[in-house]
Amino acid sequence: MFSRRMLYVAVLMAVVTFHMVYTAFDSYLLLLSLLLLPVLSLAVSLPAMLRVRVRLTAPACARRGAQAQLAIHMECAGPLPVGGLRLRLRSLNRLTGEEPYPPRVYLAAGGSQTVRLPIDTAHCGCLVYAAARVRVLDHLGLIALPVRRCASASVTVLPVAAAPDPPPELPGLSGGALRPKPGGGFAEEHELRPYRAGDPLVSIHWKLSSKLDALVVREAMEPQTKPLVLSIGLGGPPDALDAALAELAWLSGALCARHVPHVLQWRDGEGKLASGLVTGAPAFERLLRRMLARPAAERPLPPPPAVRGRYHVAPAPAGTGRRIREARP
């Protein structure tokens, strides 16, 4: 639009100079026509310019690293097409707080049309897109009017499940939803595990220990009556959050595949604690979308109090150690 205005001013100055040198009626008529040209263009374009609407549409969810597109729809209900539309596209990741520099988008002259732009799925979070400084142009591109009714759009970038290395020993991952029986004793179900300091000698499986040349304990198990808790603290750099969310998705998916109900719990950057019961993959996705719409802290949050049956996923940079631990009293 700036270049068109400069061109118009240059032509106008040339015509004014010509009129000062050549004062005949033809030069006066040419100057008058040039002065009235923007007014005529606005009068012809105004009915269509006042009826322009802008909508943004995006998929509800997308996987991290996958391709997704944002659609910008210009709806023109006027009798004639408009001279074009300009806007700045603002975006915000509610989880990480990232707000990239808004790109400029130009829609060429014409009627209703759609422009599609790629969505940045590099990091998990709820991405909110909004059109700012929307201007519709007349046919000459000299006059711009604001478009006030512009709807926003949002898309949630979900993590891609990744198994932790090494995987934690969660009840339900290797069988039914069982937990160690307090005090040991008789039980119909047992689980073999390496010997730990303080285990009673009566629980040692001597025959198997002699074969493996290492102490192995038969631990009495009982049905899990209290749901397992998977917790995460929303804090740290985006890469660390992505890795932690990927491991959390793997853990929940493994439990859902074995029909083990569990509780998903998280604390956001504002210190608010939220949780929900996961009974299957759809329930986990709904809770995950709620979680990713909350702001994260710049630094990792402290772990929750130690409680048996809670497994905490702590965002941490790659190579700094295991992220998943069981909180025990």
CATH of the domain at 137: 2.60.40.10
Contact, 37 vs 29, CB < 8 A? no
User: 251 in a domain, yes or no?
Assistant: yes
Residues 147 and 259 in one domain: no
Range of the domain at 113: 1-158
| Least reliable range by pLDDT among 142-151, 189-198, 225-234 | 189-198
User: What average pLDDT score do residues 228-237 get?
Assistant: 89
Q: Is the pLDDT reported for residue 4 higher than 80? A: no
Q: How many domains does the chain have?
A: 3
Q: Quick check: helix, strand or coil at residue 11? A: helix
Reference 296, options 230, 229, 242, 253; nearest CA is: 242
Contact, 230 vs 275, CB < 8 A? no
Residue 82 amino acid letter: V
DSSP string, 302-323: PPPPP-TTEEEE----TTS---
Q: Is the pLDDT reported for residue 310 higher than 60? A: yes
Q: Quick check: helix, strand or coil at residue 37? A: helix
Write the DSSP symbol of residue 204.
B
pLDDT digits (tens, 9 = 90+) for 271-298: 889 999 999 999 999 999 999 999 998 8
Residues 11 and 125 in one domain: yes
pLDDT digits (tens, 9 = 90+) for 122-144: 999 999 999 988 888 887 878 88
Q: Is the pLDDT reported for residue 35 higher than 90? A: no
Q: Is 10 exposed, middle or buried (0-12, 13-18, 19+ CB in 10 A)?
A: exposed
Beta-carbon contacts of residue 206 (< 8 Å; ≥ 6 apart) = none
Beta-carbon contacts of residue 93 (< 8 Å; ≥ 6 apart) = 99, 123, 125, 126, 127
pTM over 0.85: no
Identify the pLDDT of residue 328. Answer: 40
User: 148 in a domain, yes or no?
Assistant: yes
Q: Is 295 exposed, middle or buried (0-12, 13-18, 19+ CB in 10 A)?
A: middle
Q: Which residue has the higher pLDDT, 189 or 83?
A: 83
User: 312 in a domain, yes or no?
Assistant: yes
User: What average pLDDT score do residues 215-242 get?
Assistant: 80
Identify the pLDDT of residue 221. Answer: 64
Residues 100 and 204 in one domain: no
Structure tokens at 256: 């859902």
Average pLDDT taken over every residue of the chain = 81
